[in-house]
Structure 1
Amino acid sequence: MLNFKEVLGFHFVNNRMEELVSEVHSRINHAQKTFIVTANPEIITYAQANPYYEKILKSSNYIIPDGVGIILASKILGQHLQERLTGFDLMSRLLEISNKKNYKIYLLGTKPDIIDMTASNIKKTFPHIEIAGFHHGYFHNDQEIINEIKLSEPDIIFVGLGFPKQEKWISDNLHHFNKGLFIGIGGCLNIWAGVNKRAPKFMRDLNLEWLYRLIKEPTRSKRMLAIPIFLKRVFRQNLNKKEERTEIK
C-alpha cells in the first residue's frame, strides 16, 4: 500500500521506488487501469493557473515527485517526501519488468523520425519485450491511435507528448480502454532514441539534472521561469502556516 503526502494541494506518492514499482506491477498484473502523472514544479505551477489541468492531475491514480523542486518544497512545508521518483527511472523499471513478464508496451510521442529509433533501442535492450505498437506525437486523429491501442491491448502505454498535452490526452481517452497503465513520460522517448542524453550520474546525485537539461536545451529557459514562481508559492504557504499556528497559540 502506498503512502501520500500533500504538497501545494497535490497528493504525492511518499514511497521508495521499489515500493512504487511493486504497487504498479500488481496493478498491471491484475489488468487495473492506471494513470500516473510524473510531476515537477513546472507542471504544478501550470496546474495552479489552469483549473481544468489541475482537475486532470488530481483525477490520476498516482502523482509522483519527478523534480528536485518538489522534494525541496515538501521539506519546506513539513511534508518531507522520501525520495525523488523520476519518470525515466520508473519507465526503465517498467521496461525491465515487461522484459521478464512479456508485458506488451505501446509508445506514443516524439517526432516521426525518432519514435522508430526509440522502439528499436528499447527492443535491443530488452529483447523479450513485445512492442504492441508505436506512433509519433504529430497526429490529428485521436481515433486512429485509440483503435490501434484497443486492438493491440498493451499492458503499458508510455505517452511522451510533453505536458500538458500528454496528461490531457490520457485523461480524455482513458475511458476508451479496459486495461493498461498510462504514464506521461515527457522527453524519455528521445533519451531512449539516443537523440537526447540524461545528465551524468554525478549531476543527478547533486540534483543538478535541471541545469544539465537547460545547458543542452537553452529553449527550456522560458519554462524554467516557472521554478521561481513555484518556490514563491511554497514560501508563501509556509509563512501562512506559521502565522496560523501563531494565531492559534
Structure 2
Amino acid sequence: MKFGTGRSAVEVNIPTRAALFHAVRTKFAQGDGFALATLNLDHLTKLPSEATFAEAYRAQDLVVADGRPVVWLSQLAKHPLELMPGSDLVIPMTELAAEMQMPIALMGSSDEALSGAKAALEARVPGVNVVMTHAPAYGFDPSGAAAEEICDMLNESGARLCFIALGAPKQELFAAFARGRCPAVGFASIGAGLDFLSGHQVRAPKIMRALALEWLWRALQSPKRMIPRYAKCFAILPKLTLDAWRQR
C-alpha cells in the first residue's frame, strides 16, 4: 500500500510478519544485504518536507507498518497490513540470525545502552554472536566521514545484521548510505528498540499497547518532545484517511 503522494510517497511492500521473515531469511541465505524501515505517522509528517529523508526511504528494500494508525489506514484502503513495530522485531530477528549463524552489530545512542542491549540479547537468545557495538558521536552525520568509518568497521567485523537505534530520520539516512557500502549487511532501523531492551527507556505496559495507547504513555513520559510530534501526526490524519479511502 502507498502512503503520501509525489516524491514523498512511500510504499509498504511487506504486508505481514511471515513475509518479512521469509524475505530476511532469503537475504541471509543468499549473502545479500538489505535495508528495513518501519513506517509510522511521524515519518509521514517528515517525508513531504525533508527531501533527503524521502530519498532515503526510496532506498529501503523492505518497508513494514509500525503504528496502529498506519494499520488502520491500510484496513480502510482494503490493503491490510500487519502491525510490526521496530522494537518488537529485535528479538525474533536476532533469533533468526542466531539460527543461521549470522553475526550481529548494534548501533545506538550510548555505549551504556548498547552494553545493556548486548547483555540482554545474549541472555535471551542462545547462540547469538554480537561482533560489534558502536555509539556515534553527538552530531553524527549519517552520510559523512564518520559514517564511512562505521561502514569500514562493519565490513571488517563480519556482521550480517545491524540494528540501528538512532531515531528518524538519522537511522534511515544511515541505512540508505551504508546499504551500498556494506553489500552483505542487513540494516534494520528500530527506533528505541535497543533502549527498551537495555532498560534505558521504559516501554508502555502491555495493556496500553493492546488498547492502542502507547502514544499516550510516551507523551506522558516526555511531554515537551512528544506532544508537538503527536500534534503534527494528528494533523495529517484527515488527508491520509481520504487518500486511503480513494485506494479502496
Supply the distance in 2 between the matched residues of 1:87 and 1:238 (Cα, whole angstroms).
23
Larger Rg: 1
Matched with 1:224 is: 230
Query: What residue ranges of structure 2 are gaps of 5+ in the alignment?
Result: 141-145
Report the Cα offset of residue 236 of structure 1: 4.5
Query: What residue ranges of structure 1 are gaps of 5+ in the alignment?
Result: none
Identical pairs, percent: 21
More displaced 10-residue stretch of structure 1: 119-128 or 103-112 = 119-128
Equivalent residue runs for 1:58-207 within 5 Å: 58-76=58-76, 78-138=77-137, 140=140, 141-207=146-212
Supply the distance in 1 between the matched residues of 2:178 and 2:24 (Cα, whole angstroms).
20
Matched, 1:29 2:34: no
Instruction: Please provide the CA RMSD for this pair.
Output: 2.1
Supply the distance in 2 between the matched residues of 1:35 and 1:171 (Cα, whole angstroms).
7
With over 3 angstroms needed to count, the CA separation of the structure-2 counterparts of 1:144 and 1:70, relative to structure 1, is same
1:187 partner letter: A
With over 3 angstroms needed to count, the CA separation of the structure-2 counterparts of 1:158 and 1:238, relative to structure 1, is closer
Could you say what secondary structure the match of 2:239 adopts?
A: helix
Supply the distance in 2 between the matched residues of 1:82 and 1:185 (Cα, whole angstroms).
18
Could you say what secondary structure the match of 2:114 adopts?
A: helix
With over 3 angstroms needed to count, the CA separation of the structure-2 counterparts of 1:131 and 1:79, relative to structure 1, is same
Matched with 1:7 is: 3
Could you say what secondary structure the match of 2:12 adopts?
A: strand
1:47 partner letter: L
1:152 partner letter: S
Any conservation in 2 of the 1:14–1:81 contact (CA below 8 Å)? no
1:18 partner letter: A
Matched with 1:233 is: 239
1:170-189 alpha-carbon deviations (Å, 9 max, x no partner): 11222211311111111111
Supply the distance in 2 between the matched residues of 1:125 and 1:60 (Cα, whole angstroms).
29
Any conservation in 2 of the 1:112–1:137 contact (CA below 8 Å)? no
Report the Cα offset of residue 169 of structure 1: 1.1
Matched, 1:56 2:56: yes
Report the Cα offset of residue 127 of structure 1: 3.6
Could you say what secondary structure the match of 2:48 adopts?
A: helix
